[in-house]
Every structure is written in C-alpha cells, then in structure tokens.
Amino acid sequence: MLHQYLSAIDCKTIFKMLLTIVVIVCVESHPVARLEIARKSSTTLQLRWAPPVSSNARVEFYLFSYRELQPLACRTGPRSWSPLIDVDADRRELEISDLLSYCTYEVMMSAHTAAGRGRDRVVTATTNAAGKCFMANM
C-alpha cells in the first residue's frame, strides 16, 4: 500500500513538472520573423521586419540596437552596441541615420511580449560609399 501511495505522488510530481515545462515553452517569446535592409545610402540603413510568426503573446514593443562591425573606411575595430532603443509594436520599418559611409554595421532586433524578450535576430549591412573619388593628374 505504501508503494502505491509513493508511486501516485511520483506520478503527480512528474506530471506537474512536465506541465510546467510545457507552459514555459508555450509562452516563450519568439524572434522577429524577418529582419532585412530595405534601403541604404552612404549614411543611412532602412530596416524592415515582420512580427514573430508563432508568438503566443501580443508583441508589446521591439528592442533594437546596432554597432559598427568592420572597419572598411571607418574607425578601427568593432564598436560596442548602441543603447537599446524601444520601437512601437505597430511599426514595421525604422531608419538608422548619421552612419559613416562605407562601413559595415550589425543590427539586432528582438520582440518583447508579456513572456519577456525574444531571441535576437541579427542582420549585417554595409553603407554605400560617399561618392566617387577622382584623382587629379599631376
């Protein structure tokens, strides 16, 4: 009889643990479905994204950050990430301006729901060159 009682407790405990795991997985915040560079110039990058495909909660806002990644014609070495910027949940485009020309940037975005911050989605892009360089004949 004691054996049956312990088995019943073990089964209930295991069931509760499994149920907790399933609930945690189900409310996990998913990454932004698509993050892409829609347009670029020598000093701007225009981002476009789609909300998470299988999010189990409403997106409250997006978090966004960027950094210089590769020194082509810009400063030497990768820079630290910009401060996180909140973007309204209903937005699907954002322009990053005042960038250096012909520099590679890494852009990160994540969706934030009641379940918390989703996984980061990252895209890399290089701004256009500022213009053509002409060498004077000497």
Superfamily holding 34-126: Immunoglobulins (2.60.40.10)
Contact 30, 111 (CB under 8 A): yes
pLDDT of residue 137: 39
Residues in the chain with pLDDT values less than 70: 1-29, 55-56, 70-78, 131-138
Residue environment code for 63-79, b if the CB has 16+ CB neighbours within 10 A, otherwise e: bbbbebbeeeebeeeeb
pLDDT of residue 29: 64
pLDDT of residue 61: 94
pLDDT of residue 74: 56
Separation between Cα atoms, residue 46 and residue 62, nearest integer Å: 16
pLDDT of residue 27: 45
Domain boundaries, the chain: 34-126
Which pTM was predicted? 0.68
pLDDT of residue 53: 82
Radius of gyration of the chain (CA): 23
pLDDT of residue 113: 87
